[in-house]
Amino acid sequence: MTVSPTPKYKSDFDSFPGNRYFTYKNYEYDGMHFCQPWAFGVQEEVQHLRREVDDMTEEIAKIKRLITSTSST
Residue range 1-49, pLDDT digits in tens? 455 556 666 666 555 555 555 556 666 667 666 667 777 888 899 999 9
Cα–Cα separations (whole angstroms), residue 51 to 39, 44, 56, 68: 18, 11, 9, 26
Buried b (16+ CB within 10 A) or exposed e, 11-34: eeebeeeeeeeeeeeeeeeeeeee
Residue range 52-70, pLDDT digits in tens? 999 999 999 999 999 998 8
| Predicted structure pTM score | 0.47
Task: Give the pLDDT of residue 45.
Answer: 93
